[in-house]
Amino acid sequence: MPADFAAGWLASGNGAGAAARPRGPKRYLQRTGVTAALTVALTRIMRELWADGWRLGRNSAVQITSIDLDAPDSSLQSILDEGDRRVGGLVATRVTRLEQALLAAVAGGLTAGQLTGVLDGLLGNEPAALVVTQTEVTWSMSLAALAYYQQARIAAVGWATAGDATVCAVCDGNEAAGLIPVGDEFPSGDDQPPAHPNCRCSLYPGDTGQSMMPADVI
């Protein structure tokens, strides 16, 4: 984050009244181009991640079904198209955190240097980045697998959890539901993983009865 960004905010007159005007920090982030820059940066990173996830999901589907379709596959493009819409949610989460930090800096009387440190810490937050990575790879892998199963005329899919102690009750419930028609919803209301942020689940095709664990392909 540029050093003058924090100084500009603290000097912009958003100080005393900002907490009462919640759109203040949102406007500042837009006016300084931070929101647009975040969108561009996240779109670039996510598109690479989704393409990687798509390849992993498709390759796994080829292996697990033992069906190697020669047909062209448009599902990568649909992943990228739908993915661009997902970026909006990712940007919104980060913008909200930045807005809160800007308001807190005013309330707490932070210096520009201190605020810059807080903002850099927020944008470089590793655990949060890992949650996004896991969730988005799970999403693109599952979407690619589902598309491939449909192309291969596989009628039913099952939900496979990672099978360890940290699997949540929601995903356990989806796995327990067994095979369901392709495109139908599992008990969580999702037709494919992820069911929640950090979900590590995958889909397996009904015809083979094998599960496709993320650990097998990463």
Residue 80, CB-side half-sphere exposure with 13 Å CA sphere: 10
Out of 91, 145, 157, 201, the only residue in the binding site for Zn ion (CB under 5 A) is 201
> Tokens at residue 103, please?
């308001």
Q: Is 171 in the site for Zn ion (CB under 5 A)?
A: yes
- Please state the closest distance from residue 138 (CB atom) to Zn ion, in A: 7
Q: Is 203 in the site for Zn ion (CB under 5 A)?
A: no
Q: Is 137 in the site for Zn ion (CB under 5 A)?
A: no
Phi and psi (nearest 5°) for 22?
Answer: -60, -15
Q: Is 199 in the site for Zn ion (CB under 5 A)?
A: yes
- Please state the closest distance from residue 7 (CB atom) to Zn ion, in A: 44
- Please state the closest distance from residue 24 (CB atom) to Zn ion, in A: 38
Q: How many residues bind Zn ion (CB under 5 A)?
A: 4
**Contacts (CB under 5 A) with Zn ion, residues 31-70:** none
Of 149 and 186, CB closest to Zn ion: 186
* CB-based contacts of 179, cutoff 8 Å, min separation 6: 156, 157, 158, 206
Q: Which stretch binds Zn ion (CB under 5 A): 73-81, 140-148, 177-185, 187-195?
A: 187-195
Q: Which residue ranges make up the site for Zn ion (CB under 5 A)?
A: 171, 195, 199, 201
